[in-house]
């Protein structure tokens, strides 16, 4: 399956869930997109759980379990929800236009809340860690 066949949210969602998407589809923007789709379809706690579990599953499928970071994934989902990703009247493009920093400098956003030591710790990779600098919204 190539990335052009993932142009609809439903196709992207299905390919994510069954791990049939090419690895190139799950770059940073792909991770944000799957989080946005989940936040559009499920209540925030369920969307976070489904997205984080799915990203971990996909990383394991690709043989790269060390690349998954639960705290990073969950914190970004919280920031996305705060940035309007739950608003079902907004399109994906609307969301991106209103939240450019999530795409261009997500780590910079997270650095407002987390020290590098906490965000990159072994514990943070395995389980959600609360911020050690400033609370998440």
Domain boundaries of the chain, sorted by first residue: 3-126
Question: What is the pTM for the complete model shown?
Answer: 0.92
Q: Which long-range contacts (CB under 8 A, 24 or more apart) does 84-88 make?
A: 85/35, 85/36, 85/39, 85/40, 86/39, 86/40, 86/44, 88/40
Q: Are 48 and 77 in contact (CB under 8 A)?
A: yes
pLDDT, tens digit, for every residue of 8-65?
A: 999 999 999 999 999 888 889 999 999 999 999 999 999 999 999 999 999 999 998 8
The pLDDT of 84-110, averaged and rounded, is: 96
């Amino acid at each position: 399956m190539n990335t052009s066949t993932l142009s609809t949210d439903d196709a992207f969602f299905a390919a994510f869930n069954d791990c049939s998407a090419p690895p190139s589809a799950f770059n940073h923007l792909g991770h944000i997109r799957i989080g946005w789709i989940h936040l559009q379809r499920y209540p925030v706690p369920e969307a976070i759980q489904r997205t984080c579990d799915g990203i971990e599953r996909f990383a394991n499928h690709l043989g790269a379990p060390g690349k998954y970071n639960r705290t990073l994934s969950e914190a970004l989902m919280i920031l996305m929800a705060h940035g309007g990703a739950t608003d079902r009247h907004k399109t994906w493009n609307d969301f991106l236009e209103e939240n450019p920093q999530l795409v261009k400098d997500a780590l910079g956003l997270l650095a407002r809340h987390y020290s590098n030591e906490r965000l990159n710790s072994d514990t943070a990779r395995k389980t959600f860690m609360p911020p050690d600098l400033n609370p998440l919204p």
